[in-house]
């Protein structure tokens, strides 16, 4: 009876010691760096290396600060002027880096009290992007309207510029031209309205 009762505490202490050794071994192994296998002479010994390339700024479009004065003209005539630099910057670093920039003048152009008689609709205001003045990155950059002959009215959304191929970061800048076909019945005054760009 004495022998049996004395062996239980001894076994318990042995179990505690073994558990402690196992815990210590696990802790030591957890902090050791991963290692490649040992390689014999005249063979390569590889180590996998990981790193991350970040895309910090995404896809953005920058337009001129307004107001921009494009000139003056008489009723029944035409007013033509450049808007300024428009730039799309694509920093998504995408495998397929394509985008479309669009433009519209949603509210028309008004003077005075903005009555119907004091409004020139967006259908009388046309836009042409022209060729890119600068580009970076790979791919195909295409103007929505290459020249004055292809100018389009801004009463609906129009394509200003596209990038249809390529990968990685890129950018393009163009200087669009605004053409106002002034209605013969237009009221004299300083007209104002928004030309809005977007990119997706």
Q: Residue 94 above 50 pLDDT?
A: yes
With a CB cutoff of 8 Å and minimum separation 6, the contacts of 72 are: 79
Beta bridge partners of 198: 102
- Whole-model pTM over 0.75: yes
pLDDT band with cut points at 50, 70 and 90 for residue 195 = very high
What does pLDDT average to over the chain? Answer: 86
Please write the tens of the pLDDT for every residue from 38-63: 889 888 888 889 988 887 789 999 99
pLDDT at 56: 79
More confident residue, 73 or 2: 73
Query: In whole angstroms, how far apart are CA 50 and each of 37, 47, 167?
Result: 18, 10, 22
Q: In whole angstroms, what is the distance from residue 146 CA to residue 148 CA?
A: 7
Residue 75 and residue 181 in contact, taking contact as beta carbons nearer than 8 Å? no
Q: Residue 76 above 80 pLDDT?
A: yes
More confident residue, 153 or 35: 153
pLDDT band with cut points at 50, 70 and 90 for residue 107 = very high
Segments making up each domain of the chain, as ranges: 58-199
Please write the tens of the pLDDT for every residue from 108-145: 999 999 999 999 999 999 999 999 999 999 999 999 99
Q: Of 44-48, 80-84, 152-156, which gets the smallest average pLDDT?
A: 44-48
Q: In whole angstroms, what is the distance from residue 145 CA to residue 172 CA?
A: 15
Domain 58-199 has CATH 2.60.40: yes
pLDDT band with cut points at 50, 70 and 90 for residue 36 = low
Q: Residue 17 above 50 pLDDT?
A: no
Antiparallel, parallel or unpaired: β 99-104 and 177-181 = unpaired
pLDDT at 190: 98
* Average pLDDT value for residue range 193-197: 97
Q: Which of 86, 88, 108 lies closest to 98, judged by CA?
A: 88
Instruction: Locate 37 and state its tokens.
Output: 């296998």
């Amino acid at each position: 009876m004495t022998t049996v009762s004395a062996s239980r505490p001894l076994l318990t202490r042995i179990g505690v010691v073994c558990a402690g050794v196992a815990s210590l071994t696990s802790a030591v192994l957890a902090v050791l760096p991963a290692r490649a296998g040992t390689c014999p002479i005249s063979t390569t010994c590889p180590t996998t290396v990981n790193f991350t390339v970040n895309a910090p700024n995404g896809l953005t479009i920058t337009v001129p600060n307004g107001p921009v004065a494009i000139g003056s003209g008489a009723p029944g005539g035409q007013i033509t002027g450049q808007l300024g630099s428009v730039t799309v910057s694509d920093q998504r670093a995408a495998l397929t880096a394509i985008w479309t920039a669009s433009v519209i003048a949603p509210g028309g152009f008004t003077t005075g009290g903005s009555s119907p008689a004091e409004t020139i609709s967006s259908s009388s205001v046309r836009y042409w992007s022209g060729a890119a003045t600068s580009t970076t990155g790979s791919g195909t950059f295409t103007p929505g309207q290459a020249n004055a002959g292809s100018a389009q009215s801004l009463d609906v959304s129009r394509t200003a510029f596209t990038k249809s191929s390529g990968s990685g970061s890129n950018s393009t800048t163009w200087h669009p031209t605004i053409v106002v076909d002034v209605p013969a019945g237009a009221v004299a005054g300083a007209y104002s309205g928004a030309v809005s760009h977007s990119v997706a």
